[in-house]
Every structure is written in C-alpha cells, then in structure tokens.
Amino acid sequence: MTSLTSKRIIAIDDTHSILTFLRISLEALGVEFHGAATAAGGIALCETAQPDLVVLDLGLPDQEGLNILPRLKRLYKDRNLPVIVLTVRKEQESLEAASKLGANAYVTKPFIMDDLIEVIRRCLDGGNNHSKRDAKSTGTAAFAGTA
C-alpha cells in the first residue's frame, strides 16, 4: 500500500469545511496539501505545484468541475495524474461523464475519510482503479470504469 508521506495532493472544492477536513486529515498522514475554492485557483495550483493527485468537486462557483477535468488530465498526461471526483451528485450520468473524461474515482458526499484515504491510496498505487462499487452500498465511493 502506498505511503502518503510527502505526496502532494490538491483539492478543488468550494466548501471551506471540506477543504479544512481534507487538510487536517491528509496532513496528519504526511501529505503536502493544497486547497483551492475555485476552478481557476485549482488550475493555477495544478500548473505550479505538480500534484501527485487531485480531488475535484463538480459544483464549483466559477466553472463546472467536469469542464476542467480534461484540462487537469492534459497538464500531466505524461504521468497520468489521478483525479478523484468528490461530489454530492449521485446520478449515474455524472459518474459516467466523469469516467469518460478521465476521472480515476468518483466519491460521493457525505463521505467517510478513511474510505476516501483508501481510494487515494488505490489511485496512487495504480493510477486508475477500474473496479466499480455501488455508492449506496458503501455510502462513500463508486469507482469510475468497469470491472
């Protein structure tokens, strides 16, 4: 299992409490955490900070998260930057759209931090987790792609 120590993770989410929760939880594991509340701020961070992984909300105030997902993937296409979508959207259409645009995993809010950390580790281990779990059965995550 991948150690998160010294990994650089950027979260793009307009909910301050989510960013704070992620910061506290991930920094306790040795992660270098950066957060942005807008798509523009998140893209700027990703262009300069060279993240190992991005956590992306879909409902951002300045731009739809699905619109910036392809751009994030293109920034680091040479090393297949893992992107985890973290959203309140539970519709199958949103999950499928995120998967088609290159998301490595899809996690629904509310979520359990230990489950999100497991998803982060899996994405960092393999870059793209193609197993699929039902969000309703676990309460936290549905991975993009198919088994």
pTM: 0.88
Q: Is the pLDDT of residue 101 over 60?
A: yes
CATH number at residue 138: 3.40.50.2300
Counting Cα atoms < 13 Å in the Cβ hemisphere of 146 gives: 2
Total of domains in the chain: 1
Q: Which residues contact 114 (CB under 8 A, 6 or more apart)?
A: none
Q: Is the pLDDT of residue 58 over 50?
A: yes
Residue 15's domain comprises 8-142
Residue 69 lies in a domain: yes
Q: Is the pLDDT of residue 117 over 60?
A: yes
Residue 124 lies in a domain: yes
Residue 3 lies in a domain: no
Residue 55 lies in a domain: yes
Q: Is the pLDDT of residue 122 over 50?
A: yes
Residue 147 lies in a domain: no
Residue 2 lies in a domain: no
Mean predicted confidence (pLDDT) in 64-85: 93
Residue 127 lies in a domain: yes
Gap between the terminal Cα atoms of the chain: 20
